[in-house]
A = this chain, B = another copy of it.
Amino acid sequence: MALQVAFLLYDRFTTLDAVGPYEVLVQLPDVEPVFVAEQAGPVRNDAGGRNDSGACEIVAERSIDDVPSPDMLLVPGGLSTRDFLGHEPILEWIRGAHEGSRYTTSVCSGALLLAAAGVLDGLQATTHWLARDLLATYRVDVVEDRVVEQGKVITAAGVSAGIDMALRIVQMIYGDDVARAVQLGIEYDPQPPFDAGAPEKVSDELVAAVRGSMMARGTNWTP
């Protein structure tokens, strides 16, 4: 039976948060991915410069109203996340979709939207390291793991962590060999030039520099 997976897009989302898990999941023939947004049509990501040049626009195939009950929802982060924490159309969709979902998931600061919708109440969750303090202002037990599973609610840390989360979900649904096959299909054999992917792995100066540069890029989820 097909697994419909709805990827929520919203103005100034982070592209890789959505596309990483998407690329993992579409390796499977019985996954039906669909990009959704408040209105169908192109949605701008969070990397646009002046006049939006340099932005990556992904087309939302359908509106959230058209996809109320996906088997799985994935909420990406974005530099704009805080702008949507009181935005009822999005939060209502998350609540409704979560009710009947097999999996409710987020990547990066997308966890803030799950929290604002009440989905994370009383649960453990993870998020981008820069968004941990803000996430902790909700009724959420914030942990620093890369992927956190709480029954059907699964959250991933910043940006690239969505790839690991999606592989884990493939493992849960389809088993170890299928997860291995998908990993081989996207040749996910990571070899970054440095081991600098978490704040505890680098100097305090570097952490401060990244915090400053993310704020300069317009993130509004650092306290």
A-side residues, CB < 8 A to B, are 14-16, 19-20, 22-23, 26-27, 29, 31-35, 42, 47, 49, 53-59, 61, 108, 128-129, 146-147, 157-161, 163-164, 167-168, 171, 176-177, 179-181, 183-199, 201-202, 206-207, 209-210, 213-214, 216-217
Contact = CB atoms under 8 A, between A and B. Distances in A.
A214 to B, nearest CB: 6
Identical subunits present = 2
B14 A32 contact: no
Contact of A210 (B161, B176, B185): B185
A180 B196 contact: yes
Query: Interface on chain A toward B: helix, strand, loop, or mixed SS?
Result: mixed
Given A15-B23, A42-B42, A192-B190, A184 B168 contact: no
Nearest to A58: B58
B199 A146 contact: no
B197 A184 contact: yes
Nearest to A55: B61
20 contacts: A15-B23, A19-B19, A23-B47, A26-B54, A29-B217, A35-B56, A42-B59, A59-B59, A157-B189, A158-B185, A164-B192, A168-B193, A180-B194, A181-B206, A183-B194, A183-B196, A184-B198, A184-B206, A188-B192, A190-B197
Contacts of A108: 187
Contact of A32 (B53, B159, B176): B53
